[in-house]
Structure 1
Amino acid sequence: MEQTAVALQKIKEQLHVANYKLTPQREAILLVLLENEKDHLSAEEIYMLVKLQNFDIGLATVYRTLEMLTELRILDKVNFNDGMARYDMRKDGAKHFHHHLLCVECGGIDEIEEDLLMEAETIVERDYAFKIMDHRLTFHGICHTCQMRHS
């Protein structure tokens, strides 16, 4: 819980710098995101979890808040080709979006924290005169659990 409080305080400071306030609605949304960080929730899932806490909030408020947090690079919007935008907390101090492993059988999503593309970025910037702002990498395959089921 202390880790959540520290993360929330850092986000509050980021909002303040960008001239936004941490309203009770925004705080409720952020708490759901922080408490479910590994789940890559959609806006509708976030809305339902906030509503479970008996918080009076509208779906439009959730969407507006998620867009604002994405613009401020507090969140990353992710699409895993399931037709639904999902949201992922950007790691504190991360220069780039982290990578994902997507199981094509069970739909499970794991995260890779290491930046595996630093050398590739250097080559792209040098050889193509292209200034990279960020990158996203998702590996599609079969997770260990699903592989074991087939053995």
Structure 2
Amino acid sequence: MPNLTITEMNNLKEELKKKGYKLTPQRRAIVDTIIENEGKHLTVEEIYDEVKKDCPEIGLATVYRTILLLEELQIVYKLDLNDGCSRYEMVHKDEIHRHHHLICTKCGSVIEVEGDLLENLEVKIEKQYNFKIKDHSVKFFGICQNCGE
């Protein structure tokens, strides 16, 4: 399993401490699992299955509670890829906004789009509607190159 850098681990400990929580071995295993599976957009049940390999004593309820806590602390965020499941991925401090996703309607694969393609549009919307945008989530649906069409 990957290890968080000392800085990342200290930041995580600090965030948890601010809210009155500790970085328990179970919480660390959950975070490590999400990092190890970066880009796979795992559900809570899939995270549980992975964590259980190294922490067989962990319960599904612990994983659910930890994911909710990590989401509240903005360490992970929930994705809705229109498949009826909530999926999770790490929040990257260097990202101003969440990245965009391309979702194949044939095979269900998900491709992450690098970079924020909507900066100019955001500026226009903010000016036109006098609205300060904090974040956005964009999903494009279509057919991937493997499925062709």
TM-score, with normalisation over the residues of structure 2? 0.89
- Deviation per CA, 1:73-129: give whole Å up to 9, x if none: 111100111111000111233221111111111111111120111111111111011
The answer to whether the aligner puts 1:5 opposite 2:4 as a matched pair is yes
Following superposition of structure 1 onto structure 2, how do residues 1-151 of structure 1 map, counting pairs within 5 Å? 4-6=3-5, 7-147=8-148
Alpha-carbon contact 2:43-2:87 (below 8 Å) kept = yes
Distance 1:61 1:81, change over 3 A: same
Unaligned runs of 5+ residues in structure 2 are: none
- The AA in structure 2 aligned to 1:46 is I
- With 30-39 and 15-24 compared, the bigger mean Cα shift is at 15-24
1:17: Cα distance to partner? 4.3
Distance 1:99 1:9 in 2: 29
Distance 1:68 1:41 in 2: 16
1:10: Cα distance to partner? 4.0
SS of the residue corresponding to residue 146 of structure 1 reads coil
CA RMSD of aligned residues (A): 1.8
Alpha-carbon contact 1:70-1:76 (below 8 Å) kept = yes
Distance 1:80 1:66, change over 3 A: same
TM-score, with normalisation over the residues of structure 1? 0.88
1:66: Cα distance to partner? 0.8
Distance 1:86 1:75 in 2: 10
Normalized per residue, which structure has more helix?
Answer: 1
1:136: Cα distance to partner? 0.2
Distance 2:101 2:145 in 1: 14
Number of equivalences = 147
Alpha-carbon contact 1:76-1:97 (below 8 Å) kept = no
SS of the residue corresponding to residue 13 of structure 2 reads helix
